[in-house]
Amino acid sequence: MTSNLQKILVAQGGGPTAVINQSLVGVVLEARRHKGIDRVYGARHGVRGIVDEDFVDLTQETSHNLELVAATPGSALGSTRDKPDLAYCERIFRVLRAHGIGHFFYIGGNDSSDTVRIVSQQAQAAGYPLRCIHIPKTIDNDLVGNDHTPGFPSAARFVAQAFAGANLDNAALPGVYLAVVMGRHAGFLTAASALGKKFPDDGPHLIYLPERTFVLEQFLADVQAMQRRHGRCVIAVSEGIHDASGAPILAQLAQDLERDAHGNVQLSGTGALADLLCAEIKQKLGIQRVRGDTFGYLQRSFIGCVSDVDQREAREVGEKAVQFAMWGDRDGSVAIQRTGYYSADYSLLPLDAVAGQTRVMDDAFISPSGTDVTDAFRLYLRPLLGSGLSDAYRLRPAPVAKVLHSGG
C-alpha cells in the first residue's frame, strides 16, 4: 500500500561526507517533480530534528541553490549521532502523524540504517502508513549488500592523494612516515592508500588493516625490513587495528576512552595512535626521523577533493530512493551494484538485510602478507576514484661520474 499522504521528510544522519548533500538534493528534486507530493520537508540534525519538530521546507528552495548545496561537502541539514529506541520512535511517530508525513528518507550509514529499520517496524506496529527508505552513505564502505557506498570513493580519493604526496615528501627527506586512517572495522579506506603508489618502490610500503590481527613485534620487524630495503618506509594504519582478542591497539595507550551513544570507542579526533606507534619505532628500532600524522576529519570533510563518480552516484541513490518509494510498495535500503567496468545500477534491499551488519574487506582484496592489497582491490577501487587524479613523475636516472670520490 502506497501512502496517500502528501508530504515527505528527508534527514541526514551520522558523519558528513563530501557527497551526502548530493543524495539530499537527489531526493528533493526528484520528489518535487512527483504530482503526489506537495511538500518536501527536511529535518534538522537527523532524527533529533524530527522529535524536536525542527523542520525546513525544501519545497521553497530554488533549484539553483539546491544544485550548489549538492556540490558542497558536509550535511546541509545537520546531522546527529542519536540512535532511537522504542520511546524515541514513539515521539517520531507523533510528529510524523501530526505533520501528515507519508515518506521518510534517511541518509546515513550502519547506525542510520538501523534507525530506519526500527522506525519502519514501529510504523507497521502502530498501523501508520509510513514508507521508510534508507539511503546509503559512509566513508568506511562497510554497508553489506553494496558494491560500495557513496562517500567512500571521495574519501578514498583523499587518502590516495594524501599518500601519493606523503610518499614524495618522504622520498625527498627519507625516514619513517606513518599515517592513521579512519575505519573502525573495515579497512577499505586505509587500503585506498595503495592507490597512491605509482613506481614499485613508492609507499605506502606497509598497510595495516582491521581485518587482520595487529602484532606489535611483527609490525616493528616489517618496518625494519622496509627501512633496510628502501632507506625509508611509508606506512598506512587503520584507526581500528586491534590485537588477537579484538581489543583496539589504541586502548593499550589511552586511559580514558570516550564512547558515543552507540557504544563506540572514540578513535578519531586524537593523534594518540600515530604518536604511540612512532614512539615504538623510535625506541625499539633506533630510527631517528619518524613522523606520524592522523588524517582525522580532513579525509571526510576536505573541500575540493571529490570523485565525480561518487558525486553522480550519490545523486542517483537519492533519486532512486524517491522512485522506489513512489512506485514500489515496500520499505528498504537503496544499494549500489556494479554492472560493468565501470557502470553501476541501484536496487532496494530489505532493511533487515542491511541494518546492524558490518561489511569488511574480502580476503581476495588483501595480500597473503596481510600488509598490502591485491590487484583485485586496485581494479575494484580505481574507477570509483573518478577522473582528473593528480599523477606523480620523477627524474630519470642520469648519474654524473664522481671525480674526487671515484675510488669509492
- Footprint of its own copies on 359-398 (CB under 8 A): 389-398
140 catalytically annotated: yes
Computed over its alpha carbons, how large is the radius of gyration of the chain?
Answer: 23
Closest distance between its own copies and the C-beta of residue 182, in Å?
A: 12
- Whose Cβ is closer to its own copies: residue 118's or residue 155's? 155
Contact between 402 and its own copies by CB under 8 A: the answer reads yes
Site membership for its own copies, residue 304 (CB under 8 A):
yes
Show contacts with its own copies in window 186-215 (CB under 8 A): 196
- Is there a binding annotation on residue 140? yes
Integer CA distances (angstroms), 25 to 50, 53, 107, 345, in order: 19, 21, 11, 19
Per-residue mark of binding to its own copies, 64-83 (x: CB under 8 A): -x--xx-xxxxxxxxxxx--
Cβ atoms of residues 191 and 182 within 8 Å:
no
Q: Which one of 55, 104, 152, 377 is in contact with its own copies (CB under 8 A)?
A: 55
| C-alpha–C-alpha distance, residues 280 and 299, integer Å | 25
Nearest-angstrom CA–CA distance, 21 and 71: 7
Region 139-178 residues binding its own copies, contact defined as CB under 8 A:
161-162, 164-166, 168-169, 171-173, 177
Catalytic residue among 111, 140, 222, 310: 140
Contact window for its own copies (CB under 8 A) among 135-143, 215-223, 295-303, 340-348: 295-303
Residues from 265 through 284 that contact its own copies (CB under 8 A): 268-272, 274-275, 278
Q: Which amino acid is at 391?
A: D
187, 152 Cβ separation under 8 angstroms: no
> Toward its own copies, which CB reaches closer, 223 or 361?
223
Kindly state whether residue 104 participates in binding its own copies, applying the rule CB under 8 A. Answer: no
Signed CA dihedral, 349, 352, 353, 354: sign only: positive
H/E element, 339? strand 332-340
Task: Report 15-34 residues binding its own copies (CB under 8 A).
Answer: 15-16
Report the distance separating Cα 408 and Cα 402, nearest Å. 9
Residue 54's nearest CA partner among 92, 7, 104 is 92
Which set of grid coordinates corresponds to residue 253? 595507550
How many degrees, rounded to 5, is the angle at CA 275 between CA 273 and CA 279?
Answer: 120
Provide the annotated binding site for diphosphate.
15
Provide the annotated binding site.
15, 110, 138-140, 182-184, 239, 297-300
